[in-house]
Structure 1
Amino acid sequence: MAIIEHSLHPADRAEMEKMRAYLAQQPKLTISPETKGIYDAFMASILPAVGVTFEQEVIGDIPGWWCKPGSAEPEAAIIHFHGGAYVVGSAEAYRPFVSHIAAGTGMTAFIPDYALAPERPFPAAFHDAGAVLDGLHRQGFRKLALTGDSAGGGLALALAQDAARKKTQEGPSIQHVVAMSPWTDLTLTAPSLASHADIDPVLTCEVLAGAAELYAGASIDRRDPRLSPLFGVMSGMPPIMIHVGTDEILFDDAASYDTAAQEAMNLSCAFLRSGLPSQP
C-alpha cells in the first residue's frame, strides 16, 4: 500500500489548535462503563451531513442504525464499527459522524451496536460483527465495505481477515476496508504508545490498558487475530486504506499493520510470479 502524508491545511491546523486547547481544559479521558454517556454526548455533538436520514433496524440479531443518503446503490452498503476501545460508544451517538461517510460515498451505512465490555467481553464483539456481515449478505447486499475508527477500525480489519480466510463463492464479499486510527495490537507493544505519550491530546497507554483488560481479561492470548489483527494472516485481503495522525499513540498500530499487509501482498505476488500457488 502506498503511504501518503498529508500536510495540514491552514484551516484544519487552526481547528486542531482549538481542539487541543479545548481538550487541555477537560479532565483526562477515561474509558469505563461510567463514561459511556460522556463519550456518546461528545460524538452526538457532531453536525450531521445534509440530506442523510437515519433508520433503526436489527441485522443478524444485532440492533443498529442506518445512515441513508438521498440516493444509493441498492445492493451496496457500508458497515461502520464505532470506536470506544470495546467499552464505550454506540450506534445512535455515531450517526452524525457516519452520516458524512454515507454522504461522501453515496452509500448507505449501517452502524451496529456490537457487544461491549465488561458486560459482554471478547469474543462477543467479533461475533456480533460477523453476524451483521452475514445478515446483510442474506438481505441481498452483494457489495459490502467495512469502515471503523479506533477499536472499530481494528474490528473491521479482523473481520476482513476472517472473511478472507474462509471465503466461499456463496459467502459475503468485502470489497474495501477503511480503518481510521485502528487499534490493531492489544498486546500494547507499539513504540508510539510511549514515544507519542506527550503529544497525543486524547489517548494514553493507561487508558488503553484498562480497556484491554475489561475486554480481553487476563487469561486471553492478546495475539489472537480476532483481538489484534496485526498478528493475523493478511493474504487474500481486499483493498485497504488506513488513516492515522502522526501525533497519535496509535500511530504504530496503523503503520505496523500497513507494513505487515504490504509484506503479505509482496509474498503473494512472489508466489504468483514463480507459478506456485498463492498462500491460503
Structure 2
Amino acid sequence: MTRINHPLSPADRITMGAMRAYLKLQPEMVLTPEGREAYDAFIGAVPTADGVMFEEAQIAGVDGWWCRPADRQPGVAILYIHGGAFTLGSARSYRHFASHLARAAGAVTFVPDYALAPEHPYPAALTDIRSVLRGLRATGVGRVGVVGDSAGGGLALAIAQMTDPEVEASLPVIDTVVALSPWTDLSLAAPGIAERTAADPLLSRAQLKTAASLYAGHVQDLRTPDLSPCFGLKGKMPPTMIHVGTDEILLDDALAYEGVAEVHVWSGMTHVFPASLQSLEAAPEAIALTGAFLRAQLGRGA
C-alpha cells in the first residue's frame, strides 16, 4: 500500500492558526469520566448530514444509533467506533459526525455505545464490538466495514487483526477498515510523542498516559496487540485506509501501518480533523476520500 501526502491549503493555514490561538485560552481536555459531558457537547456540535435519518437501536445487547442515508447500498453496513480515549464519547453525540460517513459511503451505519473505562476496562470494549459485528452478520448483512477515530480507530484496527473462530473463513468479520488519527500504541513509546508535543494543541503525553492506564486496567504490558494493535500481525489486514495530521502526537501510531494500509497524511492538521467539517477544507476532502474507498470496498460482491 502507499502513503499519500496532502498539502495545507492557504485557507486552512489561517483557520488552524486561529484555532491554535483559541485553544491556548482553553483548559486542557479531561480524559476521565469527569470530562464526558463537555466532550459530548463538543463532538455533538457537528451538524447532521443532509438526507440521513437516525434510529435508536440495540444489536447483540449493545445500545446505539443507526444512521440511515437515503442513498444506500443494499446488503452492506458500517460499524462506527467512536473515539474519546476509551473513557469518553457516546453514540448519541457521535451520530452527527457518523452521518457524514454514512452518506459519503452510501451505507447504513451503526454507532454502538460500547463499554467505557474505567468502569469497564479492557477487554470490555472489544467484547462489545465483536458482539455487534456478530449481530450485524446475524441480520443478513453481507459486507461490513469498520470505521473509528482516535481510540476507536485503534479498536477498529485491533479487531481487524484478530481472528474469530466463530465466523466461517468464507465470511470474514470485517471487509474493510478506515481509521482516523488512530491511537495504536498505548505504551506511548513512539518518538513522535515527544517530538510533536509542541505542535499538538489538543493532546499531551500525560493525558494519554492517564487514559491508557484507565483502559488497560490490570494489564501490565501495554504492548499487548489487543491494546496496542501496531504490535500485532498487520499482514492479515483487510483493505485499510488511515487519515492522520502532521501536527498530532499520534502521527507515528498511524505511520506504523505504512505498507499494509493507504495512509493519508495531511499537512498542518491536528487530531481527528475530519470532524471539523464547518471550518476546514481538508475535512470534507477526507470524508469524500473515505466515502469513495468504503463504497468501492463494500460494493465488491454485495
Normalised TM-score (structure 1): 0.89
Quote how far apart the aligned CAs of 1:188 are: 1.0
Name the counterpart of 1:23.
Answer: 23
Name the counterpart of 1:272.
Answer: none
Across the aligned residues of Structure 1 and Structure 2, the Cα RMSD in angstroms comes to 1.8
Equivalent residue letter for 2:106: G
CA distance in 2, matches of 1:21, 1:185: 29
Quote how far apart the aligned CAs of 1:28 are: 1.3
Quote how far apart the aligned CAs of 1:234 are: 1.8
Quote how far apart the aligned CAs of 1:226 are: 1.2
CA distance in 2, matches of 1:9, 1:164: 43
Paired residue secondary structure (1:96): helix
Please give the per-residue CA displacement for 1:177-202, whole angstroms capped at 9, x wherever unaligned.
11011010111101111000011010
CA distance in 2, matches of 1:220, 1:9: 43
CA distance in 2, matches of 1:67, 1:149: 17
Paired residue secondary structure (1:238): coil
Name the counterpart of 2:136.
Answer: 136
Quote how far apart the aligned CAs of 1:220 are: 3.2
Contact persistence 1:122–1:215 (CA under 8 A): yes
Mark the runs of 5 or more structure 2 residues left unpaired by the alignment. 263-302
Equivalent residue letter for 2:152: G
Quote how far apart the aligned CAs of 1:221 are: 2.1
CA distance in 1, matches of 2:27, 2:259: 35
CA distance in 2, matches of 1:44, 1:204: 23
- Decide which moves more: 148-157 or 3-12: 3-12
Equivalent residue letter for 2:229: P
Name the counterpart of 1:204.
Answer: 204
CA distance in 1, matches of 2:218, 2:189: 16
Contact persistence 1:234–1:261 (CA under 8 A): no
Paired residue secondary structure (2:236): coil
Give the alignment of 1:20-169 within 5 angstroms: 20-163=20-163, 168-169=168-169
Equivalent residue letter for 1:88: L
Quote how far apart the aligned CAs of 1:27 are: 0.5
Equivalent residue letter for 2:111: I
CA distance in 1, matches of 2:133, 2:36: 25
Structure of higher CA gyration radius: 1
Identity value in percent: 51
Quote how far apart the aligned CAs of 1:71 are: 2.2
- Decide which moves more: 244-253 or 6-15: 6-15
Please give the per-residue CA displacement for 1:119-153, whole angstroms capped at 9, x wherever unaligned.
00000001111001110000111110010000000
Name the counterpart of 1:13.
Answer: 13
- Indicate yes or no: 2:178 matched with 1:178: yes
CA distance in 2, matches of 1:108, 1:260: 27
Aligned residues: 262
CA distance in 1, matches of 2:103, 2:55: 15
Moved over 3 A (4+): 163-167, 169-173, 259-262
Quote how far apart the aligned CAs of 1:218 are: 4.8
Name the counterpart of 2:224.
Answer: 224
Quote how far apart the aligned CAs of 1:30 are: 1.8
- Measured at CA, do residues 260 and 71 of structure 1 come closer, stay the same or move farther in structure 2, by a change above 3 Å? closer
- Measured at CA, do residues 73 and 261 of structure 1 come closer, stay the same or move farther in structure 2, by a change above 3 Å? closer
